[in-house]
Structure 1
């Protein structure tokens, strides 16, 4: 589905920021708009991204 080996995801702060954004947006949807469907979608995206970018991540192979 997604390519998590893109060089953009190499810095740890980028990976953390992406996951945090998804969960913060899910919270925004719950507390401001009461849209639980969109909150669930963003929370699921944050969980998926967190699993692949923080737990299972391996840096891409560098140039030889």
Structure 2
């Protein structure tokens, strides 16, 4: 099992994928609003990766 494995059965429901992506993207915006560009960049990159994994290449059959 990989450490950042997003292809688990837990992420099959769409609402869970949206929730995890939304929290990550929201936290990026929060950090940016507070002037913490480094943390905003880190969480923004994580949100971009999650968006790609959850909404572009995600296969519910996995």
TM-score class, shorter-chain normalisation, is 0.7 to 0.9
- Runs of 4+ in structure 1 over 2 Å off: none
CA RMSD across the alignment: 1.3
> What is the TM-score with the length of structure 1 in the denominator?
0.84
Structure index of larger Rg = 1
CA distance in 1, matches of 2:28, 2:56: 21
Partner of 2:45: 44
Whose RCO is larger (CA < 8 A, sep 6+)? Answer: 1
Unaligned residue ranges in structure 2 (runs of 5+): none
Distance in 2, Cα, partners of 1:24 & 1:11: 20
Give yes or no for contact 1:26–1:39 (8 Å, CA) kept in 2: yes
Q: Secondary structure at the match of 1:56?
A: coil
